[in-house]
């Protein structure tokens, strides 16, 4: 019965202006999308974030002129699309909400995470309202509803990075989105935002609209999930680093998840989980060049190459902790990780020897003074910055004889600071100095992808 539901997500650049919206609407129409999830118009979330930072220090006059930028952008799209007055009224209501909210935050000189989420939600709420009109103009055959996703996207109350409650979302989707299944109704809705059990607005974290679309696709048992962005799918590596990249036509869920986690910017890393659970194929394509092939992410692609792609994660910090007394003692790693746990800092990669451990974190600011002080009680601490994590992603990586030597032969004289190998079938990664990344990727791409 649920067969045939297509969930399509359009990112900020696909919502940038009236032209981009019309192009995206044409795609949604052609693809027969039933649920269309949109991001805020290009740059709007950044301005909202900027506002949330300035409220504590700036004058009301300054805040107002930043608010005006957002209003003007949306009004200019509205006027170009020639939307009906009902739509302009709805937008006006949201502009009022925006102004009142910022005024309140500015008076209090306080930007709580809860207030920020309400503020940030306006970007997606405004763009979806505009886009629903744009689609409506194209499709007089179907009823298009601009749907408030907060009615179904239940999350916990961790503002700024709320976690979805899948069980509740499934129930709520069955209550509110049944017409998708049975009446062929089309819903335009917001990515990125949700609501907690107390009714407060939450957000899933920056870039979270992909995740929203995947959550809805899962909740509705969709047939496919489409992510329309500004690049024609996933490439073998970042074209800004290596000009020889090639498009990837098909890739497995696991490989794509590794790619997203290890630095490819095309997809939000958590997106693929719900799609994997629901075995929902995911398409990534460009709304600017919809005729290009794009990338399909599937459970079982026919081809399983040893190395499919390469990713780079920048700004890595390597922390090494050494304690010679740990020779043959137990509990060293336990105590190290207890410190990270107490400070709620996530560790990404790790290698150990008997008396030392090296690990990476994503952001050097996470290594605050207190964390370092606690670690220093366990041994000598050494921190290195300006490193990048280079990953080779593919299949059967940890069971292929000779691969490590091929990788190091290709790297030649490039100094490798740390290696992670063996834990994953799909990933081989190592740290190099940031400045060596283009050379390392260039050599490896030539050797393994061609
Ligand atoms: N608008 C939000 C952001 O810019 C969410 C998204 O675009 O995915 O982070
Ligand atoms: Mg985005």
Average pLDDT estimate for 103-127:
98
Run of H or E residues at 8: strand 6-10
47-65: burial string, b at 16+ Cβ within 10 Å, e else: bbeebbebbeebeeeebee
Taking CB atoms and a 6 Å cutoff, what residues make up the pocket around ligand 1? 11-12, 39-40, 45, 123, 191-192, 206-209
Q: Is the pLDDT of residue 1 over 50?
A: no
Complete domains list, the chain, with CATH: 6-230 (3.40.1160.10), 308-448 (3.30.2130.10)
Of residues 140 and 153, the one with the higher pLDDT is 153
Lowest mean pLDDT among 171-175, 248-252, 272-276, 324-328: 324-328
Run of H or E residues at 422: none
Average pLDDT estimate for 161-179:
95
Residue 210 CA: nearest ligand 1 atom is: 8
Confidence of residue 3 (pLDDT cuts 50, 70, 90): low
The distance from CA 84 to its chain's CA centroid, rounded to whole angstroms, is 33
In this structure, are residues 393 and 445 in contact, taking their beta carbons and an 8 Å threshold?
no
- Sign for the CA dihedral angle at 42, 43, 46, 50 comes to negative
CA distance 211 to 51: 25
Mean pLDDT in the chain?
A: 94
- Sign for the CA dihedral angle at 238, 242, 243, 249 comes to negative
Average pLDDT estimate for 41-54:
98
Q: What is the pLDDT of residues 260-317, one digit of tens each?
A: 988 888 888 889 999 999 999 999 999 999 999 999 999 999 999 999 999 999 999 9
Look at the block and give the residue holding tokens 């290594």.
367
Q: What is the pLDDT of residues 404-416, one digit of tens each?
A: 999 999 999 999 9
Residue 124 CA: nearest ligand 1 atom is: 1
CA distance 95 to 67: 8
Residue 2 is predicted with a pLDDT of 46
Q: Of all residues in the chain, what percent carry a pLDDT higher than 70?
A: 99
CA distance 144 to 122: 20
Average pLDDT estimate for 240-249:
93
> Facing residues of 131 across strands?
none
Ligand 1: residue of 51, 191, 214, 270 to mutate (most ligand atoms within 8 A of CB) is 191
Please write down the HEC assignment for all residues of 106-165: HHHCCCCHHHHHHHHHHHHHHHHHHHHHHHHHHCCCCCEEEECHHHCCEECCCCCCCCEC
Average pLDDT estimate for 71-80:
98
Classify burial at 115, counting beta carbons within 10 Å of its beta carbon; exposed 0-12, middle 13-18, buried 19 or more: buried
**Who surrounds ion ligand 2 at CB < 5 A?**
11-12, 39
Residue 219, token pair as written in the block? 């909740």
Classify burial at 353, counting beta carbons within 10 Å of its beta carbon; exposed 0-12, middle 13-18, buried 19 or more: exposed
């Amino acid at each position: 019965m649920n067969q045939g539901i297509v969930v399509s997500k359009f990112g900020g650049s696909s919502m940038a202006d009236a032209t981009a919206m019309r192009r995206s609407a044409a795609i949604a129409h052609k693809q027969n999308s039933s649920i269309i999830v949109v991001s805020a118009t290009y740059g709007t979330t950044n301005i909202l974030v900027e506002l949330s930072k300035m409220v504590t220090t700036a004058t009301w006059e300054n805040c107002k002129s930043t608010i005006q930028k957002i209003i003007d952008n949306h009004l200019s799209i509205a006027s170009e699309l020639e939307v009906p007055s009902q739509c302009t009224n709805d937008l006006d209501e949201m502009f009022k909400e925006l102004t009142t909210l910022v005024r309140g935050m500015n008076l209090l000189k306080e930007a709580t995470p809860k207030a920020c989420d309400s503020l940030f939600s306006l970007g997606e709420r405004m763009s979806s309202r505009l886009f629903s009109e744009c689609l409506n103009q194209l499709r007089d055959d179907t009823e298009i509803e601009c749907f408030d996703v907060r009615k179904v996207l239940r999350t916990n109350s961790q503002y700024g990075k709320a976690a979805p409650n899948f069980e509740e979302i499934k129930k709520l989707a069955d209550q509110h989105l049944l017409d998708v299944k049975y009446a062929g109704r089309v819903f335009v809705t917001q990515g990125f935002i949700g609501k907690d059990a107390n009714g407060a607005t939450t957000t899933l974290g920056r870039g979270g609209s992909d995740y929203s679309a995947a959550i809805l696709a899962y909740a509705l048992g969709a047939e496919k999930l489409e992510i329309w962005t500004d690049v024609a799918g996933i490439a073998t590596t970042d074209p800004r680093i290596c000009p020889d990249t090639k498009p990837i036509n098909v890739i497995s869920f696991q490989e794509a998840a590794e790619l997203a986690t290890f630095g490819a910017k095309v997809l939000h890393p958590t997106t693929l989980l719900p799609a994997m659970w629901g075995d929902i194929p995911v398409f990534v394509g460009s709304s600017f060049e919809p005729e290009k092939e794009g990338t399909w992410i599937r459970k079982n692609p026919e081809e399983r190459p040893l190395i499919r792609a390469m990713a780079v994660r920048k700004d890595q910090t390597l922390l090494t902790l050494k304690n010679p007394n740990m020779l043959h003692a137990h509990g060293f790693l336990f105590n190290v990780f207890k410190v990270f746990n107490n400070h709620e800092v996530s560790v990404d990669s790790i290698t150990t020897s008997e008396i030392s451990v090296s690990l990476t974190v994503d952001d050097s600011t996470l290594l605050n003074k207190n964390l370092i002080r606690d670690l220093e009680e366990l041994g000598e601490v050494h921190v290195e910055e300006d490193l990048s994590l280079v990953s080779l992603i593919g299949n059967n990586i940890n069971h292929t004889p000779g691969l490590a030597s091929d990788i190091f032969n290709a790297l030649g004289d490039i100094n490798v600071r740390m290696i992670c190998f063996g834990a994953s079938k799909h990933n081989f990664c190592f740290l190099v100095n940031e400045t060596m990344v283009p050379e390392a990727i260039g050599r490896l791409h030539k050797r393994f992808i061609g």
